[in-house]
Amino acid sequence: MTLATAKPKRPRPAKRSGPADGRDRRLIDHGAWFLVLPALIPILVLSVGPLLYGIALAFTDAQSGRTEPTRWIGTLNFQDLLHDTLFWESFRIGLLWAVGVTVPQFLLALGLALLLNQPLRLRWLARALAIVPWAMPEVVVGIMWRLVYNPDAGILNETVRDLGLGDGRDWLSGLATALPAVILVGVWAGMPQTTVALLAGLQNTPRELHEAAAMDGAGAWRRFRTVTWPAIRPVALAISALNLIWNFNSFALVYVLTNGGPGGRTRLPMLFAYEEAFRYGQFGYAAAMGCVMVAVISTVLALVLVGRLRRGEGA
């Protein structure tokens, strides 16, 4: 639902030589306006505009289908939000989910990327298979895993029974198992993309460095730490930050898998805000939730950028 299929964003190289250097002060190069406007106008009208409008709505009592005019109510929505224990519970679940998906996803993807960087026989098959989770609509991913988790006809319980581990259970409805079950799906769905990003970083590692380190008698772990990791760290950092944000904002997967249940155990902030806005019609209140989410995400972004700066990489 988010741009889960987009490439990782990386900062531009600081310097670029080109015919236009030194024209920095101008907003845009001479007659190029007509090239830019067709994209710029929709961006302003349908993206930047609504975003600002959304922030403004957070300070109003806007509701759907109400006849009285909408009023400014200052920070009342935010004050209410502060005391909304259900929202903070969903916020906590959102953070748990985002970290719970991003960390294992990164470790698994790193492992797979390292494997795929080796001359192994089944590499092509892994690459081909990796397309499946990446290209699948999130709704289908959710449906597919519901079939896997199905208590009677699902393959997971059948495997559990075959292994003699008991009768299996209804994974998505169990209070204790729902969130881990949903997290596993999140890991599966996002792994290929992370793998490809890391693989791109790995293939950028100079081979000679590896060989030199091996000649000096460095073991596998030491080579990884001193040669491989420094080379892929920028990519790893960028993709992890994006994954954290995308996961925190995710909606479709969990909507299809559990719709927030059981008892709100998997109710991510986006699900909560969606219900508040489009089931109960509380537009202003839901917008305030969106604002809080933006604030948290900006903090994550800022921390990552500060981390980069401190390492002297520039941002």
Stretch that binds another protein, among 71-79, 82-90, 207-215, 276-284 (CB under 8 A): 276-284
Near another protein in 291-310, by CB under 8 A: 291, 293-294, 297-298, 301
> Should residue 98 be labelled a site residue for another protein when binding is judged by CB under 8 A?
no
Q: Which is nearer to another protein, 101 or 252 (CB)?
A: 252
> Should residue 279 be labelled a site residue for another protein when binding is judged by CB under 8 A?
no
Report the residue from 82, 86, 107, 132 that binds another protein according to the rule CB under 8 A: 132
Quote the CA–CA distance of 70 and 88 in Å, as a whole number: 26
Burial of 126 (0-12, 13-18, 19+ CB in 10 A): middle
| Alpha-carbon radius of gyration of the chain | 24
Report the residue from 98, 178, 227, 270 that binds another protein according to the rule CB under 8 A: 270
Amino acid at 312: G
Near another protein in 138-177, by CB under 8 A: 138-140, 143-148, 150, 152-155, 158, 161
Shortest spacing between CB 125 and another protein, in angstroms? 6
Shortest spacing between CB 85 and another protein, in angstroms? 20
Q: How many residues bind another protein (CB under 8 A)?
A: 119
Near another protein in 228-247, by CB under 8 A: 234-235, 242, 245-246
Near another protein in 172-191, by CB under 8 A: 188, 191
Near another protein in 5-34, by CB under 8 A: 5-10, 12-13, 16, 18-21, 23-29, 32, 34
> Should residue 93 be labelled a site residue for another protein when binding is judged by CB under 8 A?
no
